[in-house]
Amino acid sequence: MRLALLTDIHANREAFEAVLADLSQRQIDRLVFLGDIVGYGPDPGWCVDQVESLVAKGAIALRGNHDRAVTTPDNILNANARRVIDWTVNRLNARQKLFLSDLPLTVEDGDTLFTHASANDPGDWLYVTSESTARPSFLVSGARLIFCGHVHRAALYSCDLTGRVSHLAVPTGHPMPLLQSRRWLGVIGSVGQPRDGSTLASYAILDRARNELCFRRTAYDATTTARKSREAGLPEALAQRLMKGI
């Protein structure tokens, strides 16, 4: 089975459509959305409807911190993110809000755990950015494979039989073997707001039969998304981030 792993769409319709178009050219058995369907971007309703439709067809979807913030106010988000969520709330209908609020924080599927942030207390929205922050996920979960988002930059960590965690280079477009002798944590880069200096949308494909993970990038019309963001009155800083991939 081949799984497409998508995360941090952040209401970016153009990026989401580009990734789905790229996936349509590949053999994919199931889609997995690792949270943050909304937030930052100008098309929250369209993105929620699209994910809901795909879930009805068998996709897995998880709740991210921005999805949660739509229905549960908190002080975790920064000022720009909070401003966009306040705007987003008035653009979603009751059904869309209910869909977001009903999404789980984690899903286990065989030897694989899906979550938005660190598996170590998923509702605390901890970032996995290093070996030290990856280690708690391996400690609290017995899953051989763990996949998350939240960071907006792709990364891959492995844990050996002694518990030592290593950070591996992420080769874009080239399958990475997930050796059975190790456990793995993949941080899937953002579809809608990459922050690694590239404006290309990011996602990954897990091939369970081959036991391989392939990180992929695809181009999308960031100029249109930035224009729509400005027209919606969203913070200018967010449009600038889209254009620079930061």
Q: What CATH number does residue 199 fall under?
A: 3.60.21.10
Decide: 185 and 142 in contact? Cβ < 8 Å.
Answer: no
pLDDT for 209 beyond 90 = yes
Q: pLDDT tens for residues 1-23?
A: 999 999 999 999 999 999 999 99
Span 105-120, average pLDDT: 97
Find the mean pLDDT for residues 168-190: 95
pTM given for the model: 0.97
Can you give the pLDDT at residue 32? 98
Q: Quick check: helix, strand or coil at residue 101?
A: helix
Task: Return the percent helix, strand and coil in the chain, to nearest 5.
Answer: 35, 20, 45
For 31, the domain range is: 2-244
Residue 178: Cβ within 10 Å count: 20
Q: Rounded CA gap, 19 and 15, in Å? A: 6
Q: 199: which DSSP letter?
A: -
**Total number of domains constituting the chain:** 1
- How many C-beta atoms surround the C-beta of residue 241 within 10 A? 21
Who contacts 79 (Cβ-Cβ below 8 Å, separation ≥6)?
Answer: none
pLDDT at res. 76: 80
Q: How far apart are CA 78 and CA 102, in angstroms?
A: 24
